[in-house]
Amino acid sequence: MQSEQCEACGQLIKGLSKTVRIEGSTPMKVCDRCARLGTEVVVQSGPRTVSGRTGSGVRTAAPPVRRKRDVFDFIGDDIVEDYADRIREARLAKGMTMKDLALELKEKEHLIRKIENGDLIPEDSVRKKIEAALEISLVESDGNQDDLTKAGKTETTLGDVILVKRK
């Protein structure tokens, strides 16, 4: 048996490798430890022969499962902590039921319920649909970038303050 190298950390894989997609990358063969960093991908193989006759042999992929977001999903816009309350309050203010909102967003009512209960952080595509339908904002805006880019305004940085002493 030929040992494989983990495409994420570079260690030799002991045992079976797992095929995982980490943050939208192409599927990679990784070790068990690195497999936790992404979502496992079901690899489909072409038709194969079984017992000398042609069989379907193709594994059908399960329907895509919505996953909870991981740490790397938060690098972009940060979703507010009270997103569930904001969505519920905006929905009720518009006089909509969860079913009404789900129909408008073309999503399942179960998904809306999980988001409103705070059990699931909405993916960006669903978050944008919710924001548009309820006319609310669910992301925190970071004012730091604007302060640094305004013409004529600069802030003191650590590099301006410290004096590096070299031997």
CATH of the domain at 122: 1.10.260.40
Model pLDDT, residue 11: 85
> Taking the model in full, what pTM does it have?
0.43
If one counts every other C-beta atom within 10 angstroms of the C-beta of residue 6, the result is 19
**What are the pLDDT digits (tens) for 27-72?**
888 888 888 888 888 765 555 444 444 445 455 555 555 555 555 5
Domain carrying residue 80: 73-140
In a domain, 40, yes or no: yes
Residues 136 and 85 in one domain: yes
- 80-100: average pLDDT: 92
DSSP state of 83: H
AA letter at 45: S
Supply the pLDDT for residue 104.
93
| 105, pLDDT greater than 50 | yes
Same domain, 40 and 85: no
Contacts for 133 with CB less than 8 Å, ≥ 6 apart? 101, 104, 105
Which of 101, 151, 164 lies closest to 131 in space, CA to CA?
101
d(CA 43, CA 100): 37
The count of structural domains within the chain is: 2
Say if 158 falls within a structural domain. no
